[in-house]
A and B are shown apart, each in its own frame.
Chain A
Amino acid sequence: MTILRTTFLSLLLLMSAAGATSVAIVVSPDVPVDELSFSEVRKLFLGERQFWTPRLRVVLLMRAPVAPERNVVLRTIYQMSEAQFRQYWISKVFRADVSAGPKIVYSTEMANDLVNAIPGAVAFIDAAQIPKGLKVLKIDGKLPGDKAYPLH
């Protein structure tokens, strides 16, 4: 079983390296949203939407550089390179739009744990590694794996 799991993970990593990663947007259980449009997801990740409700603030979690999921998000949502992404957040903090940039997480497990624990948290993870019970947002009515799902 462990050999099969390891083999599966190896294949998954290879697929990720080849750019075939499908990314799921996951949120903490208290987020009162089940579905967003792609534009709304973009506003979340650009820091232009900072509140889920007036009582619940968005806490944006970003995977650290090199993770394939991050590359998907930079390419599809941000349409920015790493350098442009850095400059974007430095500029946003400097303009006093936000007090800080997104929080960095270093692994899917860490993202899963923090999304479950922090009120208002939103993160993205490899769709193939979604653990049971994690709340996954639909984007334009679609879940990861559906035809025309936009984040891959």
Chain B
Amino acid sequence: MTLIRSLTFQRAPLLILATFLVPIAATAQAGDPALQSQLIEKLLQRIDQLEKRVTELESARPGAPAAQAVVSAVQPAPIPAEKTSAAEPAAMVPSQSAGMSHDHGAPLETPASYPLFRLSGFGDINYTANDRAGSHPGFNEGQFILHISSALSSRVTYFGELSMTARTDAGTGSPAVTGFNVEVERSLIRYDQSDHLKVSFGRYHTPISYWNTQFHHGSWLQTTASRPEMVQFGGNFIPVHFVGALAEGSFAAKGLNLNYNAGIGNGRSSVLTRDGDWGDVNNHKAWLGTAYIKPDWLYGLQVGGSVYRDKINAIGRPESREWIESAHVVWNKENPEIIAEFFNISHQQPGSSVVTNNQAWYAQFAYRLPFADHWKPYYRYEYIHIPQSDAIFRGLNLGLSGSTLGMRYDISSFSALKLEYRNQKRPGLPNTNVIWAQTSFTF
């Protein structure tokens, strides 16, 4: 009886604590019941921990009766570490299930857990309408994207990205074609030696464009519904994909935080919109170099540029050397968000001194409203100039000037609604007005 009274006396303050704090938590989080429940649960877990600690202290007192351990609602105590090597993480109980990985709560890696496979996805459903003759407004399924990452060891990781896109000729032909094109958008394996050097091999989104490597196929990640035309998937302007090898890394550089990419690969295939997945079409490898800085003193700023060199042997086009130079300036906060890129693509046929320059640029501005932070209006202007003398891009109707004006609304942490209006003018063609509504999400 004395023991029970003693233990009750010890626990009374804890119960008082819970009684005292729960209303405080409720008041503090009055506007969000889900958050309130979460906070209450955390506080109760904390009380459990404190009770357990009291029990342990009582057990440690000389002559004190052994008390029954209170089962903690939190994870059990981790197994003491075994240092297998400096490069391998310790053997630990995973902190949570792999299902939490999308909330960036990945399981703790152990040698026994490799390969550590994670799957996530992106998707978008769209409704578009335009005033082009013969077009019909309607829904389309956008792209269904699966993203795979798998840590094979503490230094070796595999990344993959699959896309499924609806075909316009689905069901036609004999045998009938399927409803969707499946593409391996990215597939690469990377070895991390240090922050200064990471080497990878595979298929990439060519790292000569900020947009191309920042957003990939995840439309939920980008503010706008549509990509700039110059970096469109399946577009001709820049080589969107690259198959080869890449070295990358970063250096502090006295606070400049200099990042680099250097790559060599197959370059464009005989189809301008494709890269050489199956091999190279000529004996000249494409190579690229990218550098950008993210200075410490201006957190959010990124400034950089790239060079790319290839030899093109495309169907219906003369053999040409291709130089691509690009530059970008980005302020990647949300108040505002500013993205601007410039590209110059030069073509020169062997034996000719004539060089044609094709130029494109865009500037995008967005701002998450401080008084209504689910809303993010945006505007983008883009321009592409193709000289008529360019033998590679001639006849592809790539020239463009246009504005995009829209609004993004974040329905939840992982899904968004976007509505945008686009006005596009191509040389020799009437202006086109487009309304585009999209719901994009990640899962």
Interchain CB contact (< 8 A) of A96 among B35, B108, B186: B186
Is B181 close to A, CB under 8 A? no
Is the Cβ of A10 less than 8 Å from the Cβ of B20?
A: yes
Instruction: Please tell me the size bucket of the interface on B.
Output: 35 or more
* Cα(A120)–Cα(B359), bound, Å: 47
Does A3 reach chain B (CB closer than 8 Å)?
yes
Q: Is B140 an interface residue (CB 8 A)?
A: no
**Given that A50-B192, A50-B195, A90-B102 are contacting pairs, would A57 and B87 also be in contact in the complex, using a CB cutoff of 8 Å?**
yes
Q: In the complex the two chains form, is A66's CB within 8 Å of B194's CB?
A: no
Residues of A within 8 A of B106 (CB): 100-103
Q: Is the CB of A105 within 8 A of B299?
A: no
Evaluate contact between A119 and B86: CB separation under 8 angstroms.
yes
Residues of chain A with a CB closer than 8 A to B122's CB: 94
CA distance A51 to B299 in the complex (A): 21
Report A-chain residues with C-beta under 8 Å of the C-beta of B57: 2
Q: In chain B, residues 184-220, which have Cβ atoms closer than 8 Å to a Cβ of chain A?
A: 186, 188, 190, 192-195, 213-214, 216, 218
Given contacts A66-B39, A107-B45, A110-B75, contact A100 B101 (CB under 8 A): yes
Given contacts A48-B257, A90-B120, A106-B45, contact A79 B78 (CB under 8 A): no
**Cα of A33 to Cα of B373 in the assembled complex, Å:** 39
Please encode chain B, from 63 to 75, with 1 for each CB lying within 8 Å of some chain A CB and 0 for all others: 0000000000011
Which residues A80-95 have CB closer than 8 A to chain B? 81-87, 89-91, 93-95
**Contacting residues, chain A, for B108 (C-beta < 8 A):** 59, 103, 114, 118
B25, B151, B159, B250: which contacts A48 (Cβ < 8 A)?
Answer: B250
CA distance A43 to B105 in the complex (A): 19
Contact A90 B95 (CB under 8 A): no
Closest beta carbon of chain B to A76's beta carbon, Å: 11
Q: Which stretch of B46-54, B123-131, B226-234 is in the interface?
A: B46-54
Is A56 an interface position by the 8 A CB rule? yes
A 84-136 contacts with B by CB, 8 A: 84-87, 89-91, 93-96, 99-107, 109-110, 113-114, 116-120
**Partner of A106 from B39, B75, B154, B190 at Cβ < 8 Å:** B75
Write out the residue numbers on chain A whose beta carbons fall within 8 Å of the beta carbon of B194. Answer: 51, 53-54
B394 close to A (CB within 8 Å) = no
Q: Which residue of A lies closest to B147 (CB)?
A: A94
Q: Does B96 sit within 8 A of A, measured CB to CB?
A: yes
- A49 with B120, Cβ < 8 A, contacts A10-B21, A96-B186, A107-B45 known: no
- Bound: A37/B296 CA distance, A: 10
A62 with B104: CB separation less than 8 A: yes
> Which residues in A have their C-beta under 8 angstroms from that of B90?
117-119
Interface residues of B in 1-45 (CB under 8 A from A): 10, 13-14, 16-17, 20-21, 24-25, 28, 35, 38-39, 42, 45
Task: Say which residue of B13, B77, B89, B221 sits within 8 Å of A87 (CB atoms).
Answer: B221
- Judging by beta carbons under 8 Å apart, are B188 and A96 in contact? yes
B39: chain A residues at CB < 8 Å are 66
Judge whether A89 and B410 touch: CB under 8 Å.
no
Q: Are A107 and B49 in contact, CB atoms less than 8 angstroms apart?
A: yes
Residues of B within 8 A of A55 (CB): 86-87
Chain A's closest residue to B107 (CB) is A103
Which of A55, A65, A95 has the most chain B CB within a 10 Å cutoff? A95
Contacts of B373 in A (CB 8 A): 81
| CA A99 to CA B188, docked complex, whole Å | 12
Known: A9-B50, A99-B116. A114 touches B78 (CB 8 A): yes
Asked if B216 and A95 sit within 8 Å, CB to CB, the answer is yes
Which one of A13, A37, A42 has the highest number of Cβ atoms from chain B below 10 Å of its Cβ?
Answer: A13
Knowing that A54-B194, A104-B103 touch, tell me 8 more A-B residue pairs with CB under 8 angstroms. Answer: A6-B13, A54-B193, A64-B42, A96-B149, A96-B186, A103-B106, A105-B95, A109-B74
Sample 12 A-B pairs with CB under 8 A, ordered by A number: A3-B13, A10-B17, A10-B21, A50-B192, A57-B154, A66-B39, A67-B42, A84-B334, A90-B104, A99-B151, A101-B104, A117-B78
The 4 closest A-B pairs by CB, nearest first: A101-B104, A104-B105, A100-B106, A39-B296
